[in-house]
Amino acid sequence: MDTMKLLLGATVALLLGALAVSWQGMKQGVADTSPDELERLKKQITELRREQDNLKMQRELQQLQAATPAPASPELNAADIAAMKAELEAGKAALQELEAEKAERDAKVEQDEEGLLAQRNLESGDTELRRARMIAEALLVAKVREYVEDPDYGGFATIDVMMPEQVQPGTILAIRRKTGILGQLKVSDVSAEGAIANPLPGFGPIEPQPGDELILPPQY
């Protein structure tokens, strides 16, 4: 704003100087004023008018800028604020969902633990119940493929091995039917095609059937 005042002051001074010279030239007469001097004064007047127009345009531009409101700050933008609120609400909803899932999971674990304790309490007074549970939970390591009755050797079973690391020559396998043990077999030979096992003494009258499950005998 100080620069504008200085330019306006300089313009006024030049105008006054030009008027003084023009007034002096009129008093002396046109004949006494040289053509060069008149031409110089015309140029000064033209330049002063151009400067005045330029200053006026700059002043109007400054007034227009002062009257135009500044754009809203990004931090204060209504759309951004709404988006942040929506994101915050979504985060709260996700947190509540995770808390609900955790509470449900904890409740299920507690229920399972209570059921396990109840099962153990029942088994403490019922050895048969405990035995049936251990048989049902025993790891399946093989299945009977075929059982061959041999009058001379008492029969043998060919088996499909499902867990080779658990089945070796000399391994004792129990034949599982539901939650009971039908009898026991002793592995005599193991190959890539399967294994051969012979029934141990005390084998029941019921013969093994293809598909019978073979497990490692539980330690009751």
What are the tens digits of pLDDT across the range 194-213?
A: 999 998 887 767 788 899 99
Report the pLDDT averaged over residues 12-21: 56
Report the pLDDT averaged over residues 44-56: 77
| Long-range contacts, 180-189 (Cβ 8 Å, 24+) | 180/132, 180/135, 181/135, 181/217, 182/206, 182/208, 182/212, 183/208, 184/217, 185/157, 185/159, 185/214, 187/159, 188/156
Among 142, 157, 152, residue whose Cα is nearest residue 208: 157
pLDDT band at 87 (very low <50, low <70, confident <90, very high): confident
Among 183, 174, 180, residue whose Cα is nearest residue 154: 183
Cβ proximity of 105 and 180 under 8 Å = no
pLDDT band at 95 (very low <50, low <70, confident <90, very high): confident
pLDDT band at 30 (very low <50, low <70, confident <90, very high): very low
Lowest mean pLDDT segment, chosen from 16-20, 41-45, 52-56: 16-20
Rank 71-75, 104-108, 149-153 by mean pLDDT and report only the highest. Answer: 104-108
Beta bridge partners of 197: 157, 187
- Distance (Å, whole) CA 10 – CA 3: 11
pLDDT, position 3: 57
pLDDT band at 219 (very low <50, low <70, confident <90, very high): confident
Q: Which residue has the higher pLDDT, 164 or 68?
A: 164
> Strand locations in the chain, DSSP E?
140-148, 156-161, 172-177, 180-191, 194-199, 213-215
Report the pLDDT averaged over residues 24-44: 63
Locus of tokens 């005998």: 217
Q: Which helix (H) or strand (E) segment is 62 a member of?
A: helix 35-67
Angle at 63 between CA 61 and CA 68, to 5 degrees: 95
Beta bridge partners of 190: 195
CA 97 to each of CA 107, 118, 131, 206, 220: distance values in angstroms, whole numbers, following the listed order: 15, 31, 42, 56, 45
Q: Which phi and psi (to 5°) does residue 73 adopt? A: -65, 140
pLDDT, position 210: 93
Q: Which residue has the higher pLDDT, 170 or 64?
A: 170
Lowest mean pLDDT segment, chosen from 26-30, 54-58, 142-146, 186-190: 26-30
Report the pLDDT averaged over residues 142-166: 88
Question: Is 90 exceeded by the pLDDT of residue 105?
Answer: no
pLDDT tens-place string over residues 156-187: 999 999 999 999 999 999 999 888 888 899 99
% pLDDT > 70, the chain: 69
Residue 18 burial by CB count (10 A; 0-12/13-18/19+): exposed, middle or buried?
middle
Report the pLDDT averaged over residues 124-136: 76
pLDDT, position 165: 94
